[in-house]
Structure 1
């Protein structure tokens, strides 16, 4: 005698939130499947993972005492050796430890400055493309003024008149690098608002806030994300430039600060390459990594660009 099998219970219909989570999960899976086909993007992601790991584990691997001048373990300007793989600086500090510790500051400034830049650019671009008229004209003229002005000169001017701190560097870079994002987001906003479902949303009573937050913002976010990855690399380069010019925070260790100290110590004229080369290579590699990731993200989100893999 065989037991009768009962049909499985019918599943309850998924709610709106569950459907939204399923769509987001499926979108992330599709994004990753496309992203991992870009070998250059994977290389950039691997490099960024190494830098992020070094930054997160720096308090455990080198500790904050590595920046102490009074507790320097070596003699000033020692060449690379077994005890000091990258040599020592003019105070006798381990340059390898300083390089690892400086990763924290350089990446933090790059991320915060890029965040500030894309927030300003997205806000200006979305509002200008949505409201148009006089507001659009005024904001685009302001954007054009920032575009024609040298970004580095504006950042140097702000860093000069304000106190020397990490917040000043972030503010100086962020408020001078947003115009490109604003222009791109405005163009995308105009394209989105010309679609029929925007007219339907307005006809059903959707206000300005609803249209911009529920319809425009989700459509411009991929562009903002791709732009953010590219701005991070330029922000790190700008921070290194400001620190090299002596406009950074002298109380913290960064890659640009190491280059500035090497210049002051006369490493160029004396041929102490270990003081100059490692920070310069670190800046170049992390900027390249963010650029590779940005190009891959842009290619995934907009396949029509046809970026070479």
Structure 2
């Protein structure tokens, strides 16, 4: 009954000319009831962008394969796209696009914004995903605040993570002291809160470097293998299968046990991203890319004479981005935990400050002082766990947006 009421409101808005708000209502209907054929048909009728209309037609035909109107409309749009929007160059390479009217550009922008709003509505239904965004924002504030506090509020040297000894509160380690040392001092007289904030920056370096590298490597492996097939696909698939034999976090721990003190956070993130992107992420992305290659708009692009570079960059890769974002977030979790575990094993140098090193130093002092202040172990352990969990929660939310099966369930 609620769906029928919303659908009636959408039809009324269409008759009054307010297609933008009508599209939002229709998208809300198909999110709650993906099998609503009338809503899909209405979306097709009010969508001016051929590519977006084709997407809605594919969704409609997937649920109603015998719909003759939808099949005819799809064939019409494919023919119109071929005839009106694309013209091949004399050398058969990249297609040359004709000038797009401003009205069509605005329609394309409106369709894109409507899709973003629909994806956000689906994303925010996952409360853990919203919690992950809040936690990432909190850690971002921590990373930005440390250098500012070092130059302004914390004018004394006692908060410096490497040389900030405070003789006023010896012997070390010392429990929390307000307001000078909110979380106390470690076994070397260094402020724990300052170390906690300073460790956030290298964690972000590892996180974003690993995520971006994974995105690039997995996209390259998947797109090239799915498009060219043959020997190239076989070579790339064999590389991915070989790397999949050993989980990337364990492989990085093995490598880090030998070379961790010789590489920085940036190099660690790059290496982790390459291994993760070429193994599990590449396998999943390749499977998705192979499905995309069978879609009608891909066949239409090939029939117009578009070259491999154009098809991959303008048609294949954009449709892979939602799934790429999921694997980026999942990679962060493994990379941060692997780096923290290596540091926890005591393989990091003192200058390589991170949360794992803080836990290792705290446990080292347990033999000297069994009644160790709680903040020395709990604060860095909790920070490492929440940092990894935040990106995992966001990845689950992005998975809801990228996976059509989950869309249907919600």
- Alignment TM class, shorter chain as reference: 0.7 to 0.9
Q: Is the 8 A contact 2:362 2:377 kept in 1?
A: yes
Q: Is the 8 A contact 1:295 1:307 kept in 2?
A: no
1:115-137 deviation line (CA, Å, top 9, x unaligned):
11221112111111111111111
Which is bigger in relative contact order (C-alpha 8 A, separation at least 6)? 1
CA distance in 1, matches of 2:390, 2:103: 40
- Runs of 5+ consecutive residues of structure 2 not aligned to the other structure: 1-100
CA distance in 2, matches of 1:292, 1:170: 20
After TM superposition, the structure 1 stretch with the greater mean CA deviation from structure 2, 288-297 or 147-156, is 147-156
Q: Could you tell me how far 1:268 is from its partner in structure 2?
A: 9.3
Q: Could you tell me how far 1:308 is from its partner in structure 2?
A: 9.1
Partner of 1:36: 124
Q: Is the 8 A contact 1:166 1:248 kept in 2?
A: no
Q: Is the 8 A contact 1:165 1:249 kept in 2?
A: no
Instruction: Give the alignment's TM-score, normalised by structure 1.
Output: 0.86
1:170-222 deviation line (CA, Å, top 9, x unaligned):
23322222211101110111000011221221111111111111111011100
Q: Could you tell me how far 1:19 is from its partner in structure 2?
A: 4.0
- Identify if the C-alpha distance between structure 1 residues 221 and 259 changes in structure 2 by more than 3 Å, giving closer, same or farther: same
Instruction: Give the alignment's TM-score, normalised by structure 2.
Output: 0.66
Work out which of the residue numbers 191, 194, 208 in structure 1 matches 2:294.
194
Partner of 2:111: 23
1:91-135 deviation line (CA, Å, top 9, x unaligned):
111101111121111122111112112211121111111111111
Q: Could you tell me how far 1:17 is from its partner in structure 2?
A: 4.5
- Identify if the C-alpha distance between structure 1 residues 267 and 175 changes in structure 2 by more than 3 Å, giving closer, same or farther: farther
Q: Is the 8 A contact 1:113 1:171 kept in 2?
A: yes
Matches within 5 A, 1:235-254: 235-248=335-348, 250-254=350-354
CA distance in 2, matches of 1:122, 1:40: 27
Partner of 2:190: 93
Q: Is the 8 A contact 1:67 1:253 kept in 2?
A: no
1:60-111 deviation line (CA, Å, top 9, x unaligned):
2345963454332353211223232222112111101111121111122111
- Identify if the C-alpha distance between structure 1 residues 124 and 304 changes in structure 2 by more than 3 Å, giving closer, same or farther: same
Q: Could you tell me how far 1:250 is from its partner in structure 2?
A: 3.8
Partner of 2:235: 138
1:72 is the counterpart of 2:165: yes
Q: Could you say what the CA RMSD is over the residues aligned between the two structures, in angstroms?
A: 2.6
Partner of 2:244: 147
1:185 is the counterpart of 2:285: yes
1:52 is the counterpart of 2:140: yes
Aligned pairs, number: 298
CA distance in 1, matches of 2:199, 2:300: 52
Partner of 2:96: none
Matches within 5 A, 1:259-270: 259-266=359-366, 270=370
- Runs of 5+ consecutive residues of structure 1 not aligned to the other structure: 1-12
- Identify if the C-alpha distance between structure 1 residues 114 and 37 changes in structure 2 by more than 3 Å, giving closer, same or farther: same
- Identify if the C-alpha distance between structure 1 residues 161 and 230 changes in structure 2 by more than 3 Å, giving closer, same or farther: closer
